[in-house]
Amino acid sequence: MPRDDQFVYSKRVIRETEQRTGEVRTYTDEMWDSVDASKPSLSMELGREMWEEPSGEGGRVWPPRKWSELEKLPRDPEKLVPVILSFGSRVEDRPVGDLDEPDRYEAYWLLGELLKNPVLPRGLRPAAYEALALVPGVKTIRGVRDSAGRAGVGIAHTGRRPYEGKYLIFDPASYEFLGFRDERTSASGKEKYVQLSHVVDWGIVERVRQRP
């Protein structure tokens, strides 16, 4: 269990392939997230350094970084979805099956962001994974691999088309987040890229730029 004054460190590799030429670029991303969001957090992504300022009084981030807030999240998959959709200012009490299209995709995104967290309270990871299966529009893609070659299960949502090429990758036994596959287009619209990633390392550290 991390302390509020610590940071969650994570490291991933992204392999980006330009579809027309086949040229491959490899990026190493590193993140230092303040556990209670009271200190500046640092992300180094795709060669860019980005700072996230501390959240002010009453400010909230998703997923919650404070262990005490994560502990409060339901372990019942059916209860977890409305709770995460109510994380902002609105109150969401509809059954999962009655969600409209924007809320369906939002539930998928919020659950995915929660599952990307490398350290979660006992029972929350399987609950979040099972909650994904309840969200209308979620599709399972079998036989996928992350950029390190590890076999996993792709979890996509039909709200992101083409969903077959944009998915999160999980270990089917532990529900551990392994990486993602995504597609993007350059600002000019001339180049199209496929991104495939894998998580390399994570840990709890005392300060920004410290590694486990």
Question: Does the pLDDT at position 58 exceed 60?
Answer: no
What pLDDT shows up at residue 102?
A: 87
List, in sequence order, every residue forming a beta bridge with 196; answer none if it has no partner: 15, 181
What's the whole-number average pLDDT of the chain?
A: 91
Q: Cα torsion for 18, 169, 109, 80, to the nearest 10°?
A: 180
DSSP 8-state secondary structure symbol assigned to residue 90: S
pTM summary value: 0.89
| Cα–Cα dist 199/212, whole Å | 14
Average pLDDT over residues 97-125: 93
Residue 9 near residue 203, CB atoms below 8 Å: yes
What pLDDT shows up at residue 99?
A: 87
* Residue 120 banded pLDDT, cuts 50, 70, 90: very high
Closest CA to 114 of 87, 152, 96, 144: 87
| Cα–Cα dist 90/56, whole Å | 20
Question: Which segments of the chain are extended strands (E)?
Answer: 7-18, 24-34, 41-45, 48-52, 138-145, 151-157, 167-170, 177-185, 192-205
| Cα–Cα dist 10/44, whole Å | 11
Tokens of residue 15, six digits: 């392999």
Tokens of residue 44, six digits: 């180094």
Per-residue pLDDT tens over the stretch 129-149: 999 999 999 999 999 999 999
Tokens of residue 85, six digits: 């959709």
Residue 41 near residue 62, CB atoms below 8 Å: no
